Chains A and B, each alone.
Chain A
Amino acid sequence: MWPRLEARPERSRVMVYLTPLVAAGLTAVAGLILFAALGHDPVRALTIFFISPLTTSFGLTELIVKATPLVLCALGLSVGFRGNVWNIGAEGQLILGAIFAGGVALAVGDAEAPWLLPVMVCAGIVGGMLWAAIPALLRTRFNANEILVSLMLSYVASLLLGYLVHGPWRDPDGFNFPETALFGESALLPALVEGTRLHAGALFALVAVGVVWVLLMHSFIGFQVKVMGMAPRAGGYAGFSQARVVWLGLLCGGALSGLAGMVEVAGPIGQLHPQISPGYGFTAIIVAFLGRLHPLGILVAGLFMALTYLGGDTLQIEMGLPRAMTGVFQGMILFFLLASDVLIHHRIRFGSGPARSRASTRTGGA
């Protein structure tokens, strides 16, 4: 008999928290099949991908380094997503944050300046917000689709960065490589653990979790965002402004993505070059969904997705598999998550006939 879906009377709260785990489990199973199909020892490959990065202190610190920009971007995106504002241009906003913060750092150079890092933080946030303000303005003023505009701007941002590091900002002593000079000491985030790349940016991510939590769960504007996301007409009757939700969603995304850009260039990278982000802004979309658009969920999901980056690297080193494995796994996780989300609103029934009569039969038999 074919299984069929039956609508639940109300959404299952258990499933809301269970489906991310179901998705991770299904991804692992699919990974086993994929590795076996490619002719590799599936258990070993999966262990290398998901477990071995966690067994060394280097791996653990790297995990946090990679999770930091993911969590920051995803937190920002979640505010928009909750209000049905589809900002998918976090990558571009991250790059603009990096350009603004990097520009400040390069202007100051090697001079001793204790005020430099705070200024760079502000510059990064402003850069990201300015980039996100474009789709917000075009959406609220001209009704232009923010998905397409924010995505197009990601390509433009990437080209802008390419232009700067190939042209005006290129390091004159850099042997013609497309990169800027290294930032001065005062422009670098201090290390949290000496001898590792773990830096103070991770603390920004933790603070951001708290701020977004208060914003979404304990503020009136956060309530408006959620209402406009779930029932825009009800929000309209209550006098909530759609435009305000669009602006808030995009500006939060821009601010935190811009901060993520600043954190990357002032943390692990220390200069500007064309590849400052391996697609963090896009992966953050998955992080936001996997974390159920909840700040704490995003924190956990960010660490998990960071693992897919490390796992891809380890797999390449130990088994010679291409790094693109990371992207395949990330796509699978989101697919499985969205597919298993059907269980939030539905339950699976086997057999035919309306469920109620089946239920009554069962009670009758008991």
Chain B
Amino acid sequence: MDGLDAIVALLVATIRAATPLALAAVGELVTEKSGVLNLGVEGMMLVGAVAAFATAVATGSLALALLAAIIAGMLVALLFAVMTLSLMSNQVATGLALTIFGIGLSAFVGKDFIGIPIESLESVYVPWLSDLPLVGPVLFSQDPLVYASVALTFAVSWFLYRTRPGLVVRAVGENHSAAHAIGYPVIGIRYLCVLFGGAMSGLAGAYLSLAYTPMWVENMTAGRGWIALALVVFATWKPGRVLLGAYLFGGVTIIQLHAQGLGVEVSSHILSMLPYLATIVVLVLISRDQTKIRLNAPACIGKVFRPDH
């Protein structure tokens, strides 16, 4: 394998590793923009992953599998929304509950699917563009979800900052009392944003079980849901930066996987710590500037809204 091929292979792998992070983080970003902190990303991803895999095995249709993942993600997100928005439970505790529940539920459902092979999501070669050197194989010969993750990121960015409904979402997240006083349905808007986050997390999980490693393994997200949460902070709640951060983390994951192949004599256990340690480092670097966080974080994040008060 000559140098260029190796670089292409690394970049392709980086983008693939980044895609589930980008999908989940963009979904969580919309949820957080509306003022809701859903710590259940990991659980929603797992439920999406197992729903997609089970559907793929049962029907053989990957399109149906993706749909199942989206619906499954939205269903568990709905559970979270009912608890935190209608029953006004603590968002941090409920998010943790969602993750614990998602881990248990997915392991339970997935028990019968361990070791079954499926056909993975096929790459789509963009005509003409995929023949270009370097950028062709890296950017235009990926599977549909990779394109979708990029498209959805830009769509979310456009929605939040260039449309009226997007402005309303941000208003609800910044000051729910004011938004309520003007007459916006705060709870309804938050429901929709939480559901969108669930759909995206479900899709991110589906990417893992259908494309990244086409199989079902218990707890296969391995903390990616939590890394996605950290990415939102890293991106200071800006969609474009989420994508950038996801590719950065994808790169760290790939370096860790390929380090031994490149002749680095370090235990695989130690190398596997890299993405988690990188998350901590990045969080520290971003969070140390408190003004920046305070200016960018939605002001009402995690706060309970009681319409009668």
Interface positions of A from 1 to 58, Cβ below 8 Å from B: 5, 7
* Complex partner residue of A328 from B83, B97, B108, CB under 8 angstroms: B108
Q: Is A167 an interface residue (CB 8 A)?
A: yes
Closest residue of chain B to A288, judged by CB? B93
B100 A322 Cβ-Cβ under 8 A: no
CB-defined contacts of B94 to chain A, threshold 8 Å: 335, 338
* Complex partner residue of B233 from A5, A145, A151, CB under 8 angstroms: A145
Cα distance, A329 to B279, chains bound together (Å) = 31
Q: Is B226 an interface residue (CB 8 A)?
A: yes
A137 to chain B, nearest CB (A): 10
Q: Is A286 an interface residue (CB 8 A)?
A: yes
Q: Is A341 an interface residue (CB 8 A)?
A: yes
Q: Is A121 an interface residue (CB 8 A)?
A: no
Supposing A138-B284, A159-B272, A286-B100 touch, asked if A328 and B92 sit within 8 A by C-beta, the answer is no
Q: Is B39 an interface residue (CB 8 A)?
A: yes
Q: Is B173 an interface residue (CB 8 A)?
A: no
Interface positions of A from 101 to 141, Cβ below 8 Å from B: 138
A327 B89 Cβ-Cβ under 8 A: no
Q: Is B88 an interface residue (CB 8 A)?
A: yes
A152 B280 Cβ-Cβ under 8 A: yes
Interface size class of A (residues with CB under 8 A): 35 or more
Q: Is A86 an interface residue (CB 8 A)?
A: yes
Q: Is B102 an interface residue (CB 8 A)?
A: yes
Q: Is B87 an interface residue (CB 8 A)?
A: yes
B288 A331 Cβ-Cβ under 8 A: no
Q: What's the tally of chain B residues with a CB closer than 8 Å to chain A?
A: 48
B287 A338 Cβ-Cβ under 8 A: no
A324 B97 Cβ-Cβ under 8 A: no
Q: Is B111 an interface residue (CB 8 A)?
A: yes
Q: Is A211 an interface residue (CB 8 A)?
A: no
B280 A138 Cβ-Cβ under 8 A: yes
B100 A330 Cβ-Cβ under 8 A: yes
Closest residue of chain B to A135, judged by CB? B280
* Complex partner residue of A338 from B97, B108, B272, CB under 8 angstroms: B97
A26 to chain B, nearest CB (A): 13
Cα distance, A166 to B269, chains bound together (Å) = 9
CB-defined contacts of B277 to chain A, threshold 8 Å: 152, 156
A280 to chain B, nearest CB (A): 13
A323 to chain B, nearest CB (A): 8
* Complex partner residue of B273 from A142, A144, A156, CB under 8 angstroms: A156
B102 to chain A, nearest CB (A): 7
SS class, residues of chain A in contact with chain B: helix
Per-position binary interface string of chain A over residues 153-181, scored 1 when its CB falls under 8 Å from any chain B CB and 0 otherwise: 10110011011001100000000000000
A339 to chain B, nearest CB (A): 5
Cα distance, A162 to B223, chains bound together (Å) = 17
CB-defined contacts of B218 to chain A, threshold 8 Å: 324
A148 B229 Cβ-Cβ under 8 A: yes
Supposing A145-B233, A156-B276 touch, asked if A335 and B39 sit within 8 A by C-beta, the answer is no
Q: Is A361 an interface residue (CB 8 A)?
A: no
Closest residue of chain A to B285, judged by CB? A142
CB-defined contacts of A346 to chain B, threshold 8 Å: 88
* Complex partner residue of A335 from B79, B279, B308, CB under 8 angstroms: B79
A163 B270 Cβ-Cβ under 8 A: yes
Closest residue of chain A to B306, judged by CB? A7
Per-position binary interface string of chain A over residues 283-318, scored 1 when its CB falls under 8 Å from any chain B CB and 0 otherwise: 101100100000000000000000000000000000
Q: Is B59 an interface residue (CB 8 A)?
A: no
CB-defined contacts of B309 to chain A, threshold 8 Å: 7
* Complex partner residue of A148 from B97, B105, B279, B290, CB under 8 angstroms: B279
Q: B-side interface residues toward A, CB under 8 Å?
A: 39, 79, 82-83, 87-90, 92-94, 96-98, 100-105, 107-108, 111, 218, 222-223, 226, 229-230, 233, 267, 269-270, 272-273, 276-277, 279-280, 283-284, 287-288, 290, 293, 306, 308-309
18 CB contacts below 8 A, A to B, read A88-B96, A144-B284, A144-B287, A144-B288, A148-B230, A156-B277, A160-B273, A166-B269, A167-B269, A324-B107, A326-B104, A327-B103, A329-B104, A338-B89, A338-B90, A338-B94, A339-B89, A342-B88
Q: Which 8 A-B pairs have the closest CB atoms?
A: A327-B104, A331-B101, A163-B269, A324-B107, A324-B108, A334-B97, A338-B89, A142-B288
Excluding A5-B87, A331-B100, 11 further A-B contacts by CB distance (< 8 Å) are: A7-B306, A86-B92, A148-B229, A151-B223, A155-B222, A156-B273, A285-B96, A328-B105, A331-B101, A332-B101, A338-B90
Q: A-side interface residues toward B, CB under 8 Å?
A: 5, 7, 86, 88, 138, 142-145, 147-149, 151-153, 155-156, 159-160, 162-163, 166-167, 282-283, 285-286, 289, 322, 324-332, 334-335, 338-339, 341-342, 345-346
